[in-house]
Chain A
Amino acid sequence: MTGEAISARGLTRRFGAKVAVDHIDLDIPAGRIYGFLGPNGSGKSTTLRMLCGLLTPSEGHAEVFGLSVEKDAESIRRRLGYMPQKFSLWDDLTVEENLRFIGRMYGLGAELTPRIEEQLKTYWLESLRAQRAGSMSGGQRQRLALAAATLHAPELLLLDEPTSAVDPQSRRDFWERLFALAEDGATILVSTHYMDEAERCHGLAILADGKIVIEGSPRELMDRVGADVLEVEGAESTEAVSALRALPWVHGVTQLGVRLRVLADRGTSDPAAKLLDVLGKLGIRAKIEATHPSLEDVFVVATRGRNGGTEKAA
């Protein structure tokens, strides 16, 4: 697989006066796992829905496999698997019946029965085949939803926050499946608000207020972050935290147990000394150590810049 699976230019969607997606450009190569990271309401779901033809763009255009999402929605649908945020299979049908129905929607004929068996095995659903979807756990439903979305072996998978109602072990298993699918050549576009999941993607776009704030591989993004990360120990009082947050060159302060994680702007010289100075005036004696930026730090810096200094992210 070569070339772009998805490309978009100036993709925009408005709901009344509200701009849900604001002039997004995308170039997502085939055969990769690409993530949309962003808080609720940042435009992740709306973008995914435009890409699979569920919503019409208000402005701009997007192509999937070189086909227009507006004009060729029907042909794109056959090559695409979509997993909505909400469990959308039928609660009153069994696992097997749900899969059979979806398979028939995609026109699978004689190959359907062996394919269902294969999917039941792959997604550990064999023992649940006669169980109704409504009585299954979050993790089981999610496996069923993915089995249904991949039943017709789509070239592109659009997954909208697929792990939001799932326990940590199921999330790990789920990601293993995604990598296996990507290895088989599928392109996967997944939206999430989990940092650890975003970090596993090949490519990543951070969204805020309907715009792509920053884009690249997780490693690149962490290297490129425009801030020094300092860990402050012994200054966990509320007073100290608000004093540090008030500093104009501090992007964010996160408390991790007894330590504070402070993001200081790159433009500031010797931020550690300045922090010690501020804390010293409050009568606090703290220990400061520089550390590596995490994806969360990238997220905080990127979304803070957008929102004009307000602590809106995450």
Chain B
Amino acid sequence: MSAAPGGGGRFVAAWRRLIAVASKEVRQLARDRPTFGMIVGVPLMQITLFGFAINFDVRHLATAVFDEANSSMSREFVSQLEATQVLQVVSRPASSSEVDALLREGRVSVGVVIPADFERRLAGNTRSVAQILVDGSQPTLTGVAAALAEMPPLSRHGMGPFSGDQRLVPRRIEIRTLYNPEKRTAVQIVPALIGVILTMTMVVFTASAIVRERERGNLELLIATPLGRLELMVGKLLPYVVIGLIQVTLILIAGRLLFGVPVVGSIFDLYGAALMFIAATLGLGLFVSTLAQTQFQAFQFAFLTMLPSILLSGFMFPFEGMPKAAQWIAQVLPLTHFNVIIRGVMLRGAALPEVWPQLAKLAVFLTIMLTIAVLRFKKRLD
């Protein structure tokens, strides 16, 4: 037979088989119209859905203002609050207890109480200058207080944040609008979507690509040939690395054209980070493929990993606000770390060395997944 005996020849032979597997996969993918459509369709659909339909921005909240000071400065403060478009003053009650009542009844979502000594407090440094009451029963509103704390008069005067009513707003909320001055959801969503879409497609594609061979009986023939298991696995995955990069490009272009989301950092860093994340996700898909016997099972397993990724990774809800247990689970998910990396690179212009702890975690994840997958994938039927 033509198998070369030497070490180099052996490597070349393995490489040729790997490429043969990869090109077969591409050929089959190109003929599988629905799957091919998913590669392009999923990113475009998701970015449209999340970018346009889901809006985490909070605007025009019904607000009651009790301005006890009623000075030129306090009136300016209220008009500046309104100018942010976050608040819309709908009621001007005559006492702070009326503000409470309006909030309780749900007629307004935000109450603003400006004390009589507003100017004096503003000049001093210790006491909060005004009270903003936010209806904490609505989760998206808790961010409002933080957003309002960014108000120009206060920053200018070097003031601390407003003190929220402890009953309504249980804790102080972090201010995180530094790199998204207009507070547009799209700017946060597009980088995060790269990770979410890759998680959705990569795990499903790779898991089903390998399980399909098993399900249709091709694997029985394949493992009777000299094809090695590593050659088979890498050959199967290679096309999906390229597909992942195509998806990243699609999201970036759509994010730019539809929402004007910039890439502040280096494009090479961005693709480097994406490549690392794609590898980690493919590793997960590979692991799933060793668990599933049928494509249907593979989809279920993939879904099982997808939901926590979307919910816990900081894509939907701020990571810091989650309970400890959820944060621990999130540490295991590659998407959590990728979100940190990609936001850093895309929005803050961070270079890869600056996000190395996250990159290292992805590398560890990839190594563990690959090791388990290769150990579990026996080149035998039993």
Q: Is the CB of A92 within 8 A of B382?
A: no
A77 near B226 with CB under 8 A, answer yes
Closest to B4 in A: A107
Number of A-B contacts (CB under 8 A): 79
Asked whether, in the complex, the Cβ of A74 is within 8 Å of the Cβ of B221, the reply is no
Cβ distance B375 to chain A, nearest Cβ, rounded Å: 16
Nearest Cβ in chain A — how far from B376, in angstroms?
Answer: 16
Say if the beta carbon of B117 comes within 8 Å of chain A: no
A107: which of B1, B27, B222 is its contact (CB, 8 Å)? Answer: B1
Task: Given A86-B217, A104-B20, A107-B2, decide whether A53 and B225 contact each other with a Cβ distance below 8 A.
Answer: no
A107 partner residues in chain B, CB cutoff 8 A: 1-3, 13, 16-17, 226
Hey, which chain B residues are within 8 Å of A104, CB to CB? 16-17, 20
A41 to chain B, nearest CB (A): 17
Let me know if B380 and A102 touch, CB within 8 A.
no
Q: Are A88 and B3 in contact (CB under 8 A)?
A: no
Instruction: Indicate whether A101 reaches chain B with its CB closer than 8 angstroms.
Output: yes
Residue of B nearest to A108 (CB): B2
- For residue B28, which residues in chain A have a CB less than 8 angstroms away from its CB? 90, 92-93
User: Contacts A74-B226, A82-B224, A106-B225 given: A89-B218 contact, CB under 8 Å?
Assistant: yes
Give B7-31 interface residues, CB cut-off 8 Å to A: 13, 16-17, 20, 24, 27-28, 31
A52, A93, A97, A101 — which one has the most chain B CB atoms within 10 A of its CB? A101
**Nearest CB in chain A to that of B221: its residue:** A88
Q: Is the CB of A54 within 8 A of B223?
A: yes
CA of A91 to CA of B24, assembled, Å? 12
- Once the chains are docked, how many angstroms separate the CA of A56 from the CA of B224? 13
In the complex, residue of chain B having the shortest beta-carbon distance to the beta carbon of A102: B225
A245 located at the interface, meaning its Cβ lies under 8 Å from any Cβ of chain B in the complex: no
Bound Cα distance A89, B224 (Å): 12
A152 on the interface (CB 8 Å rule)? yes
> What is the CA–CA distance of A16 and B213 in the complex, to the nearest angstrom?
25
Rounded to whole Å, the gap between the CB of A148 and the closest CB of chain B is 8
Residues of chain B within 8 A of A53, CB atoms compared: 224, 380
Complex interface residues of chain A between 284 and 313 (CB less than 8 A to chain B): none
Q: B361-382: contact bitstring with A at CB < 8 Å (1 yes, 0 no)?
A: 0000000000000000001111
* B216 in contact with A91 (CB, 8 Å): yes
Q: Which of B214-266 contact A (CB under 8 A)?
A: 216-218, 220-227
Q: What is the CA–CA distance of A73 and B217 in the complex, to the nearest angstrom?
A: 20
* Cα distance A101–B217 in the bound complex, in angstroms: 16
Residue of A nearest to B227 (CB): A105
**Chain A, residue nearest B219 (CB):** A88
Q: By the criterion CB–CB under 8 Å, are A105 and B2 in contact?
A: no
- Range of interface residues on A (Cβ < 8 Å): 20 to 34
Contact yes or no, B1 A106, CB < 8 A: yes
Q: How far is the CB of A51 from chain B (nearest CB, A)?
A: 10
CB-CB under 8 A from A105, the residues of chain B are 17, 20, 222, 225-227
B220 with A54: CB separation less than 8 A: yes
| B31 proximity list for chain A (CB < 8 A) | 92
Q: Is there a chain B Cβ closer than 8 Å to A177's Cβ?
A: no
CB < 8 Å neighbour of B382 from A55, A89, A102, A106: A55
Q: Which chain B residue lies CB-closest to A111? A: B2
Separation in Å of the B208 CB from the closest CB of chain A? 14
B218: chain A residues within 8 A (beta carbon): 88-90
Q: Does A49 contact B (CB under 8 A)?
A: yes
24 example contacts (A-B, Cβ-Cβ < 8 A) are as follows: A54-B224, A55-B381, A56-B380, A77-B224, A77-B225, A77-B226, A78-B3, A80-B224, A82-B221, A82-B224, A84-B220, A86-B220, A88-B221, A92-B32, A93-B27, A97-B24, A101-B24, A104-B16, A104-B20, A106-B1, A106-B226, A107-B1, A107-B13, A152-B1
Query: Could you list which residues of chain B lie within 8 angstroms of chain A, going by C-beta atoms?
Result: 1-3, 13, 16-17, 20, 24, 27-28, 31-32, 216-218, 220-227, 379-382
11 additional A-B residue pairs with CB within 8 Å, beyond A92-B28, A97-B24, A107-B16: A56-B382, A77-B225, A88-B216, A88-B220, A88-B221, A91-B216, A92-B31, A97-B27, A105-B222, A107-B2, A109-B2
